[in-house]
Amino acid sequence: MSDELVQILDGNTFVVSDSRGDISASLTDPTGLFSYDTRFLSKWILTVDGQHLNTLSVDDLNYFETRFFLVPGTGTVYVDSKLSVIRQRAVGEGFEEQLTILNHDEQPVDLHVRIDVASDFADLFEVKDALAKKGSYTTRMDNGSLVLAYDRETYARWTTISSSAPVELDADGLSFDVHLEPHGEWTTDLQVLAGGLGIGAERRGRTSKARDLEKWVAEAPRLECDWEPLQRIYHQSLVDLAALRFSPPIARGRSLPAAGLPWFMTMFGRDSIFTSLQALPFVPELAWTTLRALGEWQGSRRDDFRDEDPGRILHELRYGELTAFEERPHSAYYGAADATPLFVILLDEYERWSGDRNLVRDLEYEARAALRWIDEYADLQGNGYIWYQRRNEETGLENQCWKDSWDSISYRDGRLPGFPRATCELQGYAYDAKLRGARLAREFWKDVAFAEELEQQAADLKRRFNRDFWVADGQYYALALDADGAQVDALSSNNGHLLWSGIVDKSKAKAVARHLLGPRLFSGWGVRTLAEGEARYNPIGYHVGTVWPFDTSFIAWGLRKYGFKQEAAQLASGILEAAELFGGRLPEAFGGYERSVTKYPVQYPTACSPQAWSTGAPLLLLSTMLGLEPVGEHLVVDPALPAGIGHLELLDIPGRWGRIDAFARGRMRVR
Amino acid sequence: MAVSNFDGVTDPTTAFFDGLRQGGRQPALARKSGVVRIDLDDNGRSERWFVAIDDGTVEVSKRNQAADSTFRLDKQLFGRIATGEANAVTAVLRGEASLEGDWNLVIVFQRLFPSPS
């Protein structure tokens, strides 16, 4: 099997194979055909006369379509075949594969073509955690199709495989006896359908998908820039966002961003909100759908298994077997402490760009419930901060902030605090949500008293926060407070999110900015999640030293908000140059090594790619460099470009103003 | 009016719909509208309820009308969902309940079910 994996996707259906187009998955291996968090094919192996094939080339035609050029194996380094094999595959409700064999010989040839198939119907969580199945498998022939099925009580999933050319079916696959005349050609259309979903989203056919992608790119603003890689990065971001869109049954045919391939092709509160914020000036539709969908799924009950509270915005929604049998809580799971204030922030930001008053009115109940959650359910210590502590001790999430790995929240000396925890960025989001909620209350809900109450709460929160979280001897904000109210005093990138939220006292902003661009946090590419010198710092530790492009993009936005234009431009330039070296597509995270040491950014070993909020990072950095800011009915443009970009134009930016152009000339010298 | 079975215990389904009838305006359903049809199988006998939602007001009826979404399941199971003992979403994922039409309406309708006991 070759190392290079080939993936095509459409929303939450995707196929991951090797470069021959074969799938040969073990339980723990994320290859196969997946749909709605379930693997529908774990084996799909093509042989000709019993031989595996060799890859000549793989064409990525589109994010949802690919073509493999193959020849029968020869066992030597020389390929001198009289046969060519072409597999062209596109994702749909499963996938379609056109298999073509060409005979280049003067002689006719008879071939035995075989595709071995199997499905383990694994829940994605089982693949991730290597768990065993509880149901039973059957195989049957049905109307000329091979049906692989899995049943557990009333739960049923099946895969139907059929061929347009005459085929002989058995329980383990498909066989074809192929006769090819000299220079002859044989072809069959294979169809693999994922069935039994009961939750099927609207699917688009292949041609409409291609048209839809063209339209998606065409409707986004056009970018002109003298730094050529930026054009490519921008295009890649738009295409990857298109690929990651999916239309959950409740999205009314509109789409929202799934979080990332392969583990996170589903709705995540936090990821969908951050990505929608990044993409607002480019594809505002994502924000609309995200707000609608998250609003509809908003928590309404007190449910310990799901860590659900009234008003809480969901963390993650899954459709697989473990979720169905409540062996996992994702139906939906609510264990995020940031998604709820971020929901209010997105609603306000979306209105500022779009002028869509209707959505603000439609979601008044949900936005108020979200604001109420902050005070009534999140303040576990009763001292006016957002705290988190899971109630589902078995399968709930320990860390309910974006840095959700077990060791992400630590003191300088490496100790981990107990629970509950109040991480600093949560307080920033709460502050911002209250102020933005106040604007919505005053302007759209005509509730001045509520607006004033929120503003007063926000002012009070800011005062207390700047007192309780400020690490005086380090001149930055603590990562968190522990249950005793003591500072969890490590220096982290979370400081940048605080700038974005506006909770930072003006007098402290300069010190914070200095840290973010200083040698302990800034790697030269981006901002490390945890500062060099902290006990748990590790340049390839998931949330304790790697650079997350999404994180740095919000930090750049935060720096702009406090007037640090040049610093923001410097971060933009670092991340965009890393994007160039990653071929235009930023991974979820990369190593926090000093730029001058490695020269190239080092990809984090198991990072998801493409990942929605990494895909959104170049977009947010673009609007940050241009200094785009809606003010009333207008879009203010206040550019600050890094060295290396002489001019930058973003044309036809959609918003309440219709379409508008932004121009920038480089004046700044950054390095 | 609550309907009791032979043991004098109120049937939870009827109790749920009676509660809705008497509960007045449902703020959680503000600016939501549509008709949810609930088809229940009571040991082979079918029972059909309609809940018309209009900006927070709910009207419960057994009278046939056009529905935007249909939720179909065993009456026992619905009773457990209506008392917070079982979950509607996982019932659909398991294939014990089916959902046709407008999903968002039923997701929002779930707000009327109580917290798990």
Q: Is A324 on the interface with B (CB under 8 A)?
A: yes
Provide DSSP, A477-531.
E-SEE-TTS-EE---BTHHHHHHHHT-S-HHHHHHHHHHHTSTTTB-SSSBBSB-
Choice between A666 and A51, residue whose per-residue pLDDT is larger: A51
- pLDDT digit string, tens, across residues A547-564: 999 999 999 999 999 999
Specify if A200 maps to a domain: no
Domain boundaries, chain B: 12-112
What is the phi/psi pair of residue A530, to 5°? -130, 140
What's A386's DSSP letter? -
**Do residues A550 and A401 both lie within one domain?**
yes
Would you state the pLDDT for residue A78? 58
CB contacts of B109 in chain A (<8 Å) are none
Would you state the pLDDT for residue A77? 57
Residue of A nearest to B87 (CA): A331
Task: Report CA A345 to chain centroid distance, whole Å.
Answer: 19
**Do residues A616 and A513 both lie within one domain?**
yes
What is the phi/psi pair of residue A439, to 5°? -65, -45
Specify if A608 maps to a domain: yes
pLDDT(A1) > 50? no
Query: Using CA atoms, how far apart are residues A383 and A187, in angstroms rounded to an integer?
Result: 70
Query: Using CA atoms, how far apart are residues A193 and A201, in angstroms rounded to an integer?
Result: 14
pLDDT(A249) > 60? no
Closest CA relative to residue A30, chosen from A55, A48, A5, A12: A5
Name the band, by pLDDT with cuts 50, 70 and 90, for residue A670.
Answer: very low
What's A404's DSSP letter? -
- For residues A476-486, average pLDDT: 98
Query: Is residue A405 classed as helix, strand or coil in its secondary structure?
Result: coil
- pLDDT digit string, tens, across residues B16-38: 999 999 988 999 999 999 999 99
Q: Is B117 on the interface with A (CB under 8 A)?
A: no
**Do residues A168 and A243 both lie within one domain?**
no
Helix axes A565-581, A549-561, angle to 10 degrees: 160
Closest partner CB to A154 (pick from B28, B30, B95): B95
CB contacts of A366 in chain B (<8 Å) are none
What's A250's DSSP letter? T
Query: Looking at CA atoms only, how far is residue B23 from chain A in angstroms?
Result: 17
- A300 with B28: Cβ contact below 8 A: yes
CATH number for the domain that contains residue A615: 1.50.10.10
Domain boundary among A172, A195, A218: A195
**Do residues A123 and A247 both lie within one domain?**
no
Rounded mean pLDDT of chain A?
Answer: 92
Dihedral angle over CA of A281, A282, A287, A289, nearest 10: 150
The answer to whether A509 and A516 have CB atoms below 8 angstroms apart is no
Residue of A nearest to B115 (CA): A301
Would you state the pLDDT for residue A210? 77
- B95 with A323: Cβ contact below 8 A: no
Closest partner CB to A319 (pick from B27, B28, B93): B93
Lowest mean pLDDT of A53-62, A179-188, A550-559, B71-80, name the range: A53-62
Could you list the beta-strand ranges (E) of A197-304: 222-225, 245-246, 256-257
- A199 with B92: Cβ contact below 8 A: yes
Specify if A483 maps to a domain: yes
CB contacts of B114 in chain A (<8 Å) are 301
pLDDT(B83) > 90? yes
**Do residues A299 and A378 both lie within one domain?**
yes
Could you list the beta-strand ranges (E) of chain B: 33-42, 45-54, 57-61, 69-74, 98-101
CATH number for the domain that contains residue A84: 2.70.98.40
The CA–CA distances, whole Å, from A308 to A84, A313, A329, A391, A623 equal 56, 9, 10, 9, 35
Q: Is B110 on the interface with A (CB under 8 A)?
A: yes
Specify if A61 maps to a domain: yes
- For residues A654-663, average pLDDT: 97
Percent of chain A with pLDDT over 70: 93
- A196 with B95: Cβ contact below 8 A: yes
Query: Listing from the earlier edge strand, what are the strands of the sheet with A658-665?
Result: A222-225, A647-655, A658-665
Query: Looking at CA atoms only, how far is residue B27 from chain A in angstroms?
Result: 7
Token code pair at residue A274? 């951050």
In this prediction the ipTM stands at 0.93
Would you state the pLDDT for residue A261? 65
Q: Is A202 on the interface with B (CB under 8 A)?
A: no
Closest CA relative to residue A280, chosen from A493, A557, A11, A547: A557
What is the phi/psi pair of residue A16, to 5°? -120, 120
pLDDT(A597) > 60? yes
Number of domains in chain A: 2
Query: Looking at CA atoms only, how far is residue B25 from chain A in angstroms?
Result: 13
Determine if residue A110 is left, alpha or beta; phi over 0 gives left, psi from -120 to 50 gives alpha, anything else beta.
beta
**Do residues A543 and A619 both lie within one domain?**
yes
- For residues A643-664, average pLDDT: 96
The answer to whether A11 and A265 have CB atoms below 8 angstroms apart is yes
CB contacts of A319 in chain B (<8 Å) are 93
Query: Looking at CA atoms only, how far is residue B80 from chain A in angstroms?
Result: 15
In the Cβ-directed half-sphere of A399, how many Cα atoms lie within 13 Å? 17
Other beta carbons less than 10 A from residue A82's beta carbon: 15
The architecture of the domain spanning B12-112 is 2-Layer Sandwich (3.30)
Query: Using CA atoms, how far apart are residues A151 and A130, in angstroms rounded to an integer?
Result: 19
The answer to whether B36 and B26 have CB atoms below 8 angstroms apart is no
Closest partner CB to A156 (pick from B27, B84, B95): B95
Q: Is A155 on the interface with B (CB under 8 A)?
A: yes
- pLDDT digit string, tens, across residues A298-357: 999 999 999 999 999 999 998 899 999 999 999 999 999 999 999 999 999 999 999 999
CB contacts of A364 in chain B (<8 Å) are 30-31
Name the band, by pLDDT with cuts 50, 70 and 90, for residue A29.
Answer: confident
What residues have CB less than 8 Å from A384, skipping those under 6 apart? A460, A461, A464
Residue of A nearest to B88 (CA): A331
**Do residues A451 and A417 both lie within one domain?**
yes
- For residues A598-619, average pLDDT: 84
- B116 with A305: Cβ contact below 8 A: yes
- pLDDT digit string, tens, across residues A423-454: 999 999 999 999 999 999 999 999 999 999 99
What's A536's DSSP letter? T
Interface test with B, best of A199, A252, A256 (most B CBs within 10 A): A199
Would you state the pLDDT for residue A62? 84
What is the phi/psi pair of residue A194, to 5°? -90, 125
Closest CA relative to residue B114, chosen from B23, B34, B37: B23
Q: Which domain holds residue A141?
A: 5-195
**Do residues A273 and A386 both lie within one domain?**
yes
Closest partner CB to A331 (pick from B90, B96, B104): B90
**Do residues A361 and A407 both lie within one domain?**
yes
**Do residues A103 and A143 both lie within one domain?**
yes
Q: Residue A32: exposed, middle, or buried by beta-carbon count in 10 A (0-12, 13-18, 19+)?
A: buried
Element (H, E) at A624: helix A612-626
The answer to whether A126 and A113 have CB atoms below 8 angstroms apart is no
Specify if A201 maps to a domain: no
Enumerate long-range contacts of A628-636, CB under 8 Å, 24 or more apart: A628/A281, A628/A653, A628/A662, A630/A352, A630/A353, A630/A655, A630/A656, A633/A355, A633/A657, A635/A660, A635/A662
- B113 with A301: Cβ contact below 8 A: yes
Q: Residue B7: exposed, middle, or buried by beta-carbon count in 10 A (0-12, 13-18, 19+)?
A: exposed
Q: Residue A109: exposed, middle, or buried by beta-carbon count in 10 A (0-12, 13-18, 19+)?
A: middle
**Do residues A523 and A603 both lie within one domain?**
yes
CB contacts of B92 in chain A (<8 Å) are 198-199
Q: Is A197 on the interface with B (CB under 8 A)?
A: no
Other beta carbons less than 10 A from residue A142's beta carbon: 12
Residue of B nearest to A323 (CA): B90
What residues have CB less than 8 Å from A210, skipping those under 6 apart? A62
- B93 with A323: Cβ contact below 8 A: yes
pLDDT(A130) > 80? no
Choice between A131 and A561, residue whose per-residue pLDDT is larger: A561
Domain boundary among A195, A224, A248: A195
Token code pair at residue A102? 């060409």
Q: Is A325 on the interface with B (CB under 8 A)?
A: yes
